[in-house]
């Protein structure tokens, strides 16, 4: 399984149950109170949860956090697995729980803080070279 199993019932962030819908991008879970609530959850091809239920605002925060985080390894600052390891450590999470698709808005803010910290450290290193005490 690529992601978390879908609980039965799957509850939205608003507390209401969610049901399976199909968009042109494939199946996803939607809040049964839509359009009052815009909560959705994405699925992997194997039917497991790719993201936990979230409102459009939280989803936007996750997308922003993911973009910032991916830059770390896409621009070669560190390897992808090192970036995830460091992020897990920064957030106090297990590596298997470190999926931005599961994050709250608060955790997304922490991802952004983590990314600027990593970038600052790298700039410091570029300017000053390796720390002689390390």
Q: Which two tokens stand for residue 24?
A: 């042109």
| C-beta of 36 vs 89, nearer to Zn ion | 36
- Least distance between Zn ion and beta carbon 16 (Å): 5
Say how far apart CA 72 and CA 33 lie, in whole Å: 38
Determine the Cα–Cα distance for residues 4 and 124; give it in Å rounded to an integer.
38
Does 101 contact Zn ion by CB under 5 A? Answer: no
Instruction: Determine, following the binding rule CB under 5 A, whether residue 54 of this chain makes contact with Zn ion.
Output: no
Nearest to Zn ion of 56, 117 (CB atom): 56
Q: Counting contacts by CB under 5 A, is residue 37 touching Zn ion? A: yes
Least distance CB 12 / Zn ion (angstroms): 3
**Assigned token pair, 72:** 């770390």
Minimal distance, residue 33 CB to Zn ion, in Å: 5
Per the CB < 8 A criterion, the answer to whether 9 and 20 are in contact is: no
* Tokens describing residue 22: 């199909």
């Amino acid at each position: 399984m690529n992601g978390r199993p879908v609980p039965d019932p799957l509850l939205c962030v608003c507390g209401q149950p969610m049901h399976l819908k199909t968009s042109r991008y494939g199946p996803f879970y939607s809040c049964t109170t839509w359009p009052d609530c815009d909560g959705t959850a994405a699925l992997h091809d194997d039917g497991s949860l790719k993201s936990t239920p979230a409102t459009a605002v939280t989803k936007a925060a996750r997308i922003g956090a993911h973009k910032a985080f991916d830059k770390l390894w896409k621009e070669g600052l560190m390897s992808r697995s090192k970036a995830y390891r460091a992020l897990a450590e920064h957030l106090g999470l297990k590596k298997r729980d470190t999926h931005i698709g599961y994050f709250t808005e608060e955790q997304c803010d922490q991802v952004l803080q983590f990314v600027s910290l990593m970038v600052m450290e790298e700039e410091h290193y570029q300017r000053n070279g390796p720390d002689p005490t390390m």
